[in-house]
Structure 1
């Protein structure tokens, strides 16, 4: 542990964070408070319990918010930043600057009302290894981000002396400084945002309702667990359908399907607006800066030299209309994702302009593509289809012979999908970049510069060794990249070319 953190004075997060935490806790416990009050309505419970129970819960939430604020402090030193926690049992964690990949800022709706942001120091390890300070002012968050980056550059030898911008730093949640020019690279207006949301069909709302039903089933009538209740209800509905006639029954089915589609459309649209509202990608002196979000506003900066690979994806329908999405595999994680979304809904021309800034090549007409070994997909088709064909034989000699065609049909679909995958999957290796494309209806292209690949592994299972194909795994910091079903001789040739390129690079001279 470095002692550099001792050079800085102990600082605390902003006291307004107590109000943000308390309001968040009350909101999250609102259903619990309502359930508690509902249970207190029983005749054997005194009236004062109905009023005192929610008050006790609110006091407990506010007290917990104060304790969370009081027990957290941080020091910014010469060589590291130290975060201290605890009132009775003190715990201090020191993070050297050369381990910090990036510092990201995010704002929730509540924190934005108080002018506060959440600062996350990303070490690239993910999970519990990440350190978060919640909440500080937007100016303090920007100052921390700039000070940590400058100190990291000084420690790693990538730049000159650290610049201390002080509390008026304007990176992060505030606009860039005059010395840090920002050029808009990609943005989504409201029209494109709504168009994007139309493709994000989602039935998540039903999962939320199911989870709520499971959590608060004690508030529901016990009749829902009675088999006779459901039999009677279904019988009544059947009588209504029979009495209404076939036309009305079909109309009801169409109406139900339309309602399901409408709910999925609205859910996807709302999720998209909440996540990507005012999506803005800029080019700054530090690299790419991405801001997005309606209720939770995130602000992430991606230094160019930490971009490891580019991933271009699309969907079944949006591909036909010319829409794609672009993500960068980066050393720092983007919340729960391993890659940073930099253009979620863009044309290929827009994506090409963004990728060109990173220096990553994209395939062109001269790229020599190679298909995987057909034996790999043949084996996969047989593994999936043979059991179904055996089931079909068993059904054919049984009283259920009319159903024998079903597994045969499924087996045929599996074989057809594997053949189409063989036609769609491909890879290429040029002088500087390795390309891999997978996906049948929604193809995904990965472009990884050879200089960013750290290792190459050839993996073979028993069947692959017998049949003569393999899977190539490439070491890519911050992500995963593999080519499946490649011929063994070709896999060895690709490995040799990539390793020769890696051996010729002095990674100690590369920016970190």
Structure 2
């Protein structure tokens, strides 16, 4: 990205003028559906006369002029400033608003490019504050070079790396480090072949929901009323006739038809998942730069996120029931700027454990091996869970047997047995460990997940017990993290106290005022 005019600290600036084009196109796109409805209603009512068409055309021109004028006023009345202590944004045409975020609250700065801004060479700059996305400040849109310089300048001033604000602002991107050093070392990347395999495991039926929603919204374009047609089809007994027609076929034909229908659903689901994967993770690349992990991905919307390593609080390794059999896992991080429910912190979404291990080492973590001292939760905890979860289906099964509904009773009994078996396998496979540097939790048995937290970065440790847990002698051990919580449920009380004491010793031995920001 080429350098343009240097950023002046304290100087008020406006976003790129091409923002007018983006906002106008987006507004026009949202207006297409209402315009389509209006055109359809004119032609349907027989009012598409020359006068009506002329008035509609003049109204469209006036509306377009208003959109252009509103976009220009919105751009002109919006300005931002990189100050010595904060980032400030002022905007609004009639009602003005001002947002100011101090540097000590900024956890991360990320760049995002949707399709239209990407074509025009613009980026959206997001200043994340770690408040779950509720207190972010966003600049839409600036040039790519401007976004890079904003990110580097704000991060340096937020982290207090010793450079004066003006020097940091005036230093071009190429002067802070050699180009190869800024690019960093590639830790993980996914090409088309890897994305294709990843897409096969991302089964999704969202396409059916999209089609149903489109049919409901665009029903006026069909030559018949869809819902009236379905109502007539049900009322006239056509569904019964269709059922009789199907019953006339042999068993083999029915099995083939069922397999065909299932195959269609599977193919559509896999194709839908593959499209989502390619659109989201196209050109996925994770680099290790002097600033931290830099992740870039996206086909239509391109994101460029840098996550400082010192702000990584924990690692999460997940897999799926099927992908686990082929050795595929996903790695994400819990950071200070964590946005709950977001996938913005995936750093290796489809990788082998051999590929994940060096990334974990770069983040300051080590994957557990056979030498880890694993602790199993109390068997009483999972026995009590099985009793509580299986109580209602077991009671319903007993009532079904008593009243003579044997098939229903057998089904409910099967559900009860499945719940009990699930709790047994969870007791066997769920593990927790505490090594000299980390807290480790392994959950699940069909699709196990691994959570690893650094003991130094823990904020608190607490033991909680409900009435049943106090009576039965187990508890939940909770570790507080800046990006969330890590809990070990169902531990024996003695094990929990021992682990709490070891974790507190690690926390107390560190002067947090001297840790890097």
TM-score (norm 1): 0.91
Q: Does 1:33 align with 2:35?
A: yes
State the 1:323 CA deviation: 1.1
**1:464 match: secondary structure:** helix
Does the C-alpha gap of structure 1 residues 509 and 112 become closer, same or farther in structure 2, counting only changes over 3 Å?
same
2:179 to 177, 188, 200: 177
Does the C-alpha gap of structure 1 residues 402 and 289 become closer, same or farther in structure 2, counting only changes over 3 Å?
closer
How many aligned residue pairs are there? 502
- The equivalent of 2:286 in structure 1 is 281
Partners of 1:381 and 1:176 lie apart in 2 by 60
Matches within 5 A, 1:79-98: 79-98=85-104
**1:35 match: secondary structure:** helix
- The equivalent of 1:428 in structure 2 is 433
Can you list the C-alpha shifts for 1:396-453, whole angstroms capped at 9, x where unaligned?
1214234211111110000001101111111000111000011121110011010111
1:448 to 453, 461, 465: 453
Partners of 1:7 and 1:108 lie apart in 2 by 28
Q: Does 1:159 align with 2:162?
A: yes
Unaligned runs of 5+ in 2: 1-6
Does the C-alpha gap of structure 1 residues 339 and 21 become closer, same or farther in structure 2, counting only changes over 3 Å?
closer
- Between 324-333 and 242-251, report the one with greater CA deviation: 242-251
- Do 2:132 and 2:339's aligned partners in 1 also have CA atoms closer than 8 Å? no
Does the C-alpha gap of structure 1 residues 444 and 59 become closer, same or farther in structure 2, counting only changes over 3 Å?
farther
- Do 1:313 and 1:444's aligned partners in 2 also have CA atoms closer than 8 Å? yes
1:482 to 483, 487, 490: 487
CA RMSD of aligned residues (A): 2.5
State the 1:328 CA deviation: 1.1
Partners of 2:380 and 2:11 lie apart in 1 by 65
Does the C-alpha gap of structure 1 residues 64 and 408 become closer, same or farther in structure 2, counting only changes over 3 Å?
farther
Q: Does 1:498 align with 2:503?
A: yes
- Do 1:139 and 1:170's aligned partners in 2 also have CA atoms closer than 8 Å? no
- The equivalent of 1:211 in structure 2 is 213
Can you list the C-alpha shifts for 1:232-256, whole angstroms capped at 9, x where unaligned?
3313422432344443333222211
Does the C-alpha gap of structure 1 residues 61 and 437 become closer, same or farther in structure 2, counting only changes over 3 Å?
farther
- The equivalent of 1:118 in structure 2 is 124
**2:261 match: secondary structure:** helix
Q: Does 1:186 align with 2:192?
A: no
- Do 1:324 and 1:344's aligned partners in 2 also have CA atoms closer than 8 Å? yes
Unaligned runs of 5+ in 1: none
State the 1:179 CA deviation: 5.5
Can you list the C-alpha shifts for 1:259-315, whole angstroms capped at 9, x where unaligned?
110110001000000111111111111111110011111000011111111111111
Partners of 1:289 and 1:52 lie apart in 2 by 50
1:14 to 7, 16, 21: 16
**2:101 match: secondary structure:** strand
State the 1:388 CA deviation: 1.4
- The equivalent of 1:146 in structure 2 is 152
State the 1:202 CA deviation: 0.7
**2:112 match: secondary structure:** strand
Partners of 1:299 and 1:408 lie apart in 2 by 52
- Do 1:176 and 1:182's aligned partners in 2 also have CA atoms closer than 8 Å? no
- Do 2:74 and 2:93's aligned partners in 1 also have CA atoms closer than 8 Å? no
1:298 to 298, 303, 307: 303
- The equivalent of 1:407 in structure 2 is 412
State the 1:339 CA deviation: 6.2
Q: Does 1:361 align with 2:366?
A: yes
Partners of 1:30 and 1:253 lie apart in 2 by 41
Partners of 2:171 and 2:302 lie apart in 1 by 21
Does the C-alpha gap of structure 1 residues 55 and 485 become closer, same or farther in structure 2, counting only changes over 3 Å?
farther
TM-score (norm 2): 0.90
Partners of 2:343 and 2:196 lie apart in 1 by 26
Partners of 1:136 and 1:415 lie apart in 2 by 57
Partners of 1:375 and 1:228 lie apart in 2 by 57
Partners of 1:215 and 1:107 lie apart in 2 by 29
- Do 1:181 and 1:285's aligned partners in 2 also have CA atoms closer than 8 Å? no
State the 1:177 CA deviation: 3.3
Partners of 2:246 and 2:174 lie apart in 1 by 65
**1:294 match: secondary structure:** coil
